[in-house]
Each structure stands twice: as C-alpha cells, then as structure tokens.
Amino acid sequence: MSKFKTKKTKGSPAINTSSLPDIIFMLLFFFMVTTVMREVTLKVKVKLPQATEVQKLEKKSLVSYIYIGPPTNAALGTESRIQLNDQFARVRDIQEFVAREREARNEADRGLITTSLKVHKETKMGVVTDVKQELRKASAFRINYSTLRGQTASN
Amino acid sequence: MARRATPEINAGSMADIAFLLLIFFLVTTTMDVDSGITRRLPPPIETPEDIKIKERNVLNVLVNKNDRLLVDGKPGDIRTLKDVAKRFMTPVFPDDPNYPETELVNVPGLGDVHISKGVISLKNDRGTSYDMYIRVQNELARAFNELRDELASRRFGLKYNQLTDEEQIKAINEAVPMRISEAEPENIGGN
C-alpha cells in the first residue's frame, strides 16, 4: 500500500518559471527600442498608390515627409492640402520647411536628405508639381514617391 | 525584541506586468519599411532654353487630365507602355533611323558597349491623377529595370538586383542609364 502511495506523488515536477519575467523583459526591451512612435498626427487622408518597381527608403533619420491629400476633417473641403509636420501648409511654406529640416541634421548629412512625398492617390498632379518646383528651388533634389508594394492596375 | 524579517516581495505577477507592456509595444510597433519610387529632381533653371535633341532620340509620353496617354504622338495604352519604352531604349546596332542613336562607350567592367542615346520625356497635366502618374513612372522604371536585368544576366549571369559587386552595379547603371526627363510644367488645358 505504501509503495503504491509513493508512486502516485512522483508526478513530473512543476516547471520553474522564475526566469519567465526575464525573457519577457528581454522581448519588451527589444520592442521598446525598435518602436518608432508616429511623430505627426495626420490631418490629411493619405491612401498611397501601388507600384512594383519600388526601392526601400533607407536611413529613416534622413527622410523628411510631406503629406498631400484631402483633409480628414470633412468640414475643410475635399481639395487636396499639404501637411508639413503637424499643420496644414501652403506651397510657399515648403522652402522654409526644407531649410528647417536641414538645420536639424548633421552638417555631413545635409546633402543626403530625401524628401518622401506621401500623396493620396486621387490627388491631382497640379499640387504635386507645385511642391516639386518648390523643392527644386530649395535644392532638395532627392525625392521619393511613397508607394505600396503591389500590383498596379495595369497588370 | 527581534525585528521581524521583511517578507519577500512576491514577484509572481511581474511576468504579467511585463506581458502587458510587451503587448502594448507589439501593437504600437509598425515594422513597415517605407518604400517608393526614388527620383532625382533637376536643378532649377532660370531661363529655360531649348536644348536640341534629335527627334529620333526622344520618346514623348504625355498624360492628359483624363489620364489618357499620348505616346510619340499616338494614343497609347498603359499596358503596352513598358514594351514601347523598352523597345525604344534598347540599343539598335547597326544604326536604324527609326530608333535612337547609339554610341560606343568603354564601360569599365563591361568593355565596349553600345549605349542608346534615347531619352524618355514625360509630361503631365495639372489635372492628371497622382495614381496615373505613379503608374506611368512605374511602367517606365520597369522598362529600364528589365533592360538592366537582361544586360546583367547576359554579362554576369545574375539579375540586376541580385548583383552584389559595387563595380558591376555601377557598370550596368552606366550602360543602361535611366533617362527619364520631366518637362518643365506648363499650364495646358487647365484643370
């Protein structure tokens, strides 16, 4: 009888979970470090077009963003507007924006700044052309038309 | 009187707290990499002057405000644009007046190569939709990328984006230059 009893208590020992918090913390720190919080709140609707021949945009610290699209607040109309940083802007504000973006970078990196244009796909090219002309005047020549990777409608 | 030893803090719930934070960061993290079509704008010019390029060396691509294409004076289709651009940019030797001129250039790493002198001129209206513009840009980029792929696999046995040697990439870039010129904007047709 006693022999039978000892056998029963011999079940597999509980797994030691004392190192579980450490593992979770490790993962936590990884995500905390890699997370990039969105710096701007979008005031315009941006639904990017799709393209197949896309290149990755490297060095995110050297990218400045210009958003163009219809305002999310319907009361402001449906005409495409430009958003720089956190507010609506006009075409003539772009040169100053580029200058300020340049000021914020290291002197060595200033020539390498890429301007990423995040433009809503139904925007008319008129405003995009105006922005491009301003960028040329501000000598911000490297631009990137932000697109999603995917199939285009044509194929 | 002996002091009572402080009881050990129960760390059992630490994992739960850490899990909570972990899930928060997992949800807020956006891992998407920005991608897009990279282009270089030309420097501004004060007085636009007519640069004489022979007509046979230019492929005119016009997009109007209704997103219709005009390729070399004829109505075009986005589905055939890539093939038209590719055929246009392929160096033709011996000289054929229907195709752009070629020049023989010594490219380091490739030797003497015939390079097409063709330029694709892209012009859009203010009323063109951005979606269409990107599609046209994409098709033109596809034409150049296919030409580069072909040359790279012929010479190095690898596709263009599989090349790792900087020298080889540079050589291919030189042999197949991406010549897309965007016309100075003009107000045509309005919007």
One DSSP character per residue, B69-82 reads EEETTEEE-HHHHH
Check CB contact under 8 Å for B14 and A21: yes
Instruction: Name the residue among B15, B29, B44 with its Cβ closest to that of A20.
Output: B15
Sign of CA dihedral B88, B92, B97, B100: positive
SS3 at position A102 = helix
Give ipTM to 2 decimals. 0.75
Distance from CA of B145 to the nearest CA of A (A): 8
> CB-based contact (8 Å) between B28 and chain A?
yes
* Per CATH, domain A50-149 is 3.40.640.10: no
One DSSP character per residue, B30-42 reads --PPPEEEEEEPP
Q: What is the structure's pLDDT at B32? A: 64
Tracing tokens 């209704």 back to the chain, one arrives at: B66
% of chain A residues with pLDDT over 70 = 88
Beta pairing partners, A143: A115, B39
SS3 at position A79 = coil
Query: Which residues of chain B make contact with A138, given a CB cutoff of 8 A?
Result: none
> CB-based contact (8 Å) between B10 and chain A?
no
Strand segments, DSSP code E, in A72-141 are: 81-84, 87-89, 114-119
Identify whether the C-beta of residue A114 lies closer than 8 Å to the C-beta of residue A63: yes
- Per-residue pLDDT band for A155 (boundaries 50, 70, 90) equals very low
Pairing of strands B119-124, B58-63: parallel
Residues in Cβ contact with B107 at an 8 Å cutoff, skipping those fewer than 6 apart:
B113, B171, B174, B175
Burial class (CB in 10 A: 0-12, 13-18, 19+), B71: buried
On whether residue B21 sits in a domain, the answer given is no
Q: What is the pLDDT of residues B32-52, one digit of tens each?
A: 677 888 888 888 877 766 677
Total number of domains in chain B = 1
Domain assignment of residue B155, given as a range: 55-180
On whether residue B13 sits in a domain, the answer given is no
CA-based nearest residue in chain A for residue B190: A126
CA-based nearest residue in chain A for residue B127: A124
Q: What is the pLDDT of residues B46-97, one digit of tens each?
A: 776 667 777 788 888 888 888 888 888 888 888 888 888 888 888 877 777 7
On whether residue B4 sits in a domain, the answer given is no
Q: What is the structure's pLDDT at B42? A: 83
Query: Which residues of chain A make contact with B38, given a CB cutoff of 8 A?
Result: 55, 57, 114, 142-145
- Per-residue pLDDT band for A108 (boundaries 50, 70, 90) equals confident
- Per-residue pLDDT band for A2 (boundaries 50, 70, 90) equals low
On whether residue B188 sits in a domain, the answer given is no
The sheet carrying B119-124 orders its strands as B74-76, B69-71, B58-63, B119-124, B180-182
Interval B146-160 mean pLDDT: 87
SS3 at position A50 = strand
Rounded CA Rg of chain B: 27
On whether residue B10 sits in a domain, the answer given is no
Tokens encoding A122: 């139904």
Alpha-carbon separation of residue A130 from A111, B104, B122, B169 (angstroms): 22, 39, 16, 34
